[in-house]
Amino acid sequence: MTEETPGFEEKPDVPSGATPDGAEPKDAPSSSEEEAPSAGDAVQTAGLTAQLDQVRTALNERTGDLQRLQAEYQNYRRRVERDRATVKEIAVAGLLSELLPVLDDVGRAREHGELVGGFKSVAESLETVVAKLGLQQFGKEGEPFDPTIHEALMHSYAPDVTETTCVAILQPGYRIGERTIRPARVAVAEPQPGAAAKEEKATDEESGDTEEV
Residues 172-182: tens digit of each pLDDT: 999 998 889 99
- The CATH number given to whatever domain includes residue 194 is 2.30.22.10
Q: Which of 87, 115, 133 is the last residue of a domain?
A: 133
- Domain span holding position 194: 136-200
Characterize the bridge pairing of strands 184-191 and 150-158: parallel
Q: Which of 133, 153, 170 is the last residue of a domain?
A: 133
Q: Provide the sign of the torsion angle of the four alpha carbons 121, 123, 127, 130, taken in this order.
A: positive
Contact 153/186 with Cβ under 8 angstroms? Answer: yes
Answer whether 0.85 is exceeded by the pTM.
Answer: no
In this structure, how many other beta carbons lie within 10 angstroms of the beta carbon of residue 6?
5
Residues 22-39: tens digit of each pLDDT: 455 555 555 445 555 567
Q: Which residues pair with 190 in a beta bridge?
A: 157
pLDDT at residue 199, as a whole number: 60
Q: Which of 75, 105, 133 is the last residue of a domain?
A: 133
Q: How far apart are CA 29 and CA 27, in angstroms?
A: 6
Confidence band for 10, pLDDT divided at 50, 70 and 90: low
Q: Dmax of the chain from CA atoms? A: 171
